[in-house]
Amino acid sequence: QAQDSAAPLCFHLDSALVGALIGRGGTKIKELEDSSGSRIKVTRGTYESEVKIFGSIDVQNKAKMLIDNLVTSSGQNCVRGKTLDIIKPENNPKKPVINWASLRENRAKYESMKWAGLPPIEKNFYKESSRTASMSKEEVELWRKENNDITCDDLKEGEKRCIPNPVCKFEDAFEHYPDIMANIRKVGFQKPTPIQSQAWPIILQGIDLIGIAQTGTGKTLAYLMPGFIHLTSQPISKDQRGGPGMLVLTPTRELALQVEAECSKYAYKEIKSICVYGGGDRKGQIDMVTKGVDIVIATPGRLNDLQMNNFINLKSITYLANEADRMLDMGFEPQIMKILIDVRPDRQTVMTSATWPDGVRRLAKSYLKNPMIVYVGTLDLAAVNTVQQKVIVIPEAEKRAFVHSFIKSMKPKDKVIIFVGKKLTADDLASDFGIQGIPVQSLHGNREQYDREQALDDFKKGKVRILVATDLASRGLDVHDITHVFNFDFPRNIEEYVHRVGRTGRAGRSGEAVTLVTSSDWKFASELIDILERANQV
């Protein structure tokens, strides 16, 4: 045919303009083909798209003229604030070869320029005590075995480093920091928790750390105490720093508020902290940040907001902690990656989690550098051993009567959190108890932020002894005297079960978890049995 009698005419078109060429449902490109007698093929690319016109030379020229007129008359020749060379004819239609080595070199140069001029970071503040240094290899192994079977590893590629000996007393880690010791004595702690004992010598040496431990084992203080020392021991003053020095990322508002409460409790050298989260007073948060703070505790979404609108400078961050629980299943990975673009790559990073699934491993690998890992107990899922777990197989229709009977059997000092799968169920159950004159609070995402904070405060202070909650509250909820967890609805996965159960049996106390299982939950049976077997409860 005549339209195939010449080699196709090829040129590139900015991909932002392809829509005008194709038209809605392909109507415009069909019109161009009919008007010129040509056949037009468009191959989309990320930035530029390839256009091929088939037909005789006259047909090709006519089609190209029509495309020129269409794109120019559409007024789209100015995109993203700069004029484009819309159509670039090519004598040779071959695609250019990408020089990856050059691209990598240019990226390295850009990164070097981006971070040039920043002050150096001091990371190593550890002075090993004579008591810790004198521990033999056998003593260290025995201590780790007796303290919840701690296992450590160096994830650095190549030659491995020596894992530091654990610190058995607070003085072994902080004897050179009297203000830290004064705060510890004021609170009344007797000795470090296992995760703290092994994490502190690693973090205080400036090494990135992954800390895996059950809920309620002191992971927050494991990174906060070294963070205070890191923050106040840098070679420049905080006035010269130009922004916050420490960032703590958490998945939920509730956990962010709890971390801030810990910061305030262990106030160190007039360090200022702020909690930044969605649903809170945005203007107030912006005012606080711009006035100057040392520690930012944030949920990824709100921090992204302040970051993208230039209300906060993250280049000054030298110490990053990430409470990784729920970060992935709440979809925060893209926000975390955006945040890290503006955080200097030579920072120190600590990541904590109660579990160690593949997703968390991948996240850790992407932004920690040569970390050590400390995990307390097994790397697999394991519910807290201090919790007695009861499983009740029951028809769906009988669940409400069972939970009412359970609440009536509570002792005066018992405190229970009831987990449900839906916000509506939380409100319904709370209303049922309220009608019966039973003091109760509910906690879920549809409640206003003030109401959620009030509910949590009432529960912590014992004004109510029953909290009905969705899984929003199942991670990081720091209430030490919860005696019972009641799973009214089975969680959506077995990881969530572990975190729910971990709300009780904290700080050395015992606890009880009651879980209602219906026929629709049988798909979790084998995993649940496995959890119970590991806790020696089958």
Find out whether 498 and 525 touch, Cβ atoms under 8 Å: no
| 241 in the same domain as 292 | yes
pLDDT of amino acid 85 = 44
| 134 in the same domain as 84 | no
CA atoms of 65 and 409, how far apart (whole Å): 85
What's 491's domain CATH number? Answer: 3.40.50.300
| 322 in the same domain as 208 | yes
Residue 34 covered by a domain: yes
Give, in order, the Cα–Cα distances in Å from 356 to each of 200, 325, 410: 20, 9, 35
Domain boundaries, position 42 = 2-89
Residue 118 covered by a domain: no
pLDDT of amino acid 506 = 74
Element holding 82 (H helix, E strand): strand 82-83
Residue after which a domain boundary falls, among 351, 375, 399 = 375
What's 6's domain CATH number? Answer: 3.30.1370.10
Residue after which a domain boundary falls, among 324, 344, 375 = 375
Residue 113 covered by a domain: no
| 163 in the same domain as 278 | yes
Residue 96 covered by a domain: no
| 305 in the same domain as 396 | no
> Helices 300-308 and 282-291 meet at what angle, rounded to 10?
60
| 400 in the same domain as 371 | no
Q: What is the pLDDT of residues 486-510, one digit of tens each?
A: 999 999 888 788 888 888 887 667 8
Compute the average pLDDT of residues 465-481: 78
CA atoms of 116 and 110, how far apart (whole Å): 10
Find out whether 362 and 507 touch, Cβ atoms under 8 Å: no
Residue 344 covered by a domain: yes
Residue 29 covered by a domain: yes
Helices of type H across 55-193: 57-73, 100-115, 130-133, 137-146, 170-174, 178-187
Give residue for tokens 């880690």: 173
| 446 in the same domain as 367 | no
Residue 122 covered by a domain: no
| 336 in the same domain as 248 | yes
Q: What is the pLDDT of residues 247-267, one digit of tens each?
A: 999 998 888 998 999 998 887
Residue 348 covered by a domain: yes
Per the prediction, the chain carries an average pLDDT of: 86
pLDDT of amino acid 458 = 92
Query: In the structure, what pLDDT confidence band is assigned to residue 88 with cuts at 50, 70 and 90?
Result: very low
**Both tokens of residue 434?**
């309220």
Q: Name the domain count of the chain.
A: 3
Compute the average pLDDT of residues 16-36: 84
Residue 415 burial (C-beta neighbours within 10 Å; 0-12, 13-18, 19+): buried
In single-letter form, the type of residue at position 40 comes to I
Q: What is the pLDDT of residues 71-87, one digit of tens each?
A: 776 554 433 333 334 44
**Percentage of residues in the chain with pLDDT exceeding 70?**
90
Exposed e or buried b per residue across 204-229, where buried means at least 16 C-beta atoms within 10 angstroms of its C-beta: bbbbbbbbbbbbbbbbbbbbbbbbbb
What pTM did the predictor assign? 0.64
| 360 in the same domain as 331 | yes
| 470 in the same domain as 403 | yes
Residue after which a domain boundary falls, among 65, 89, 113 = 89
Query: In the structure, what pLDDT confidence band is assigned to residue 23 with cuts at 50, 70 and 90?
Result: confident
| 186 in the same domain as 41 | no
Look at residue 11 and give its three-state secondary structure: strand
| 398 in the same domain as 313 | no
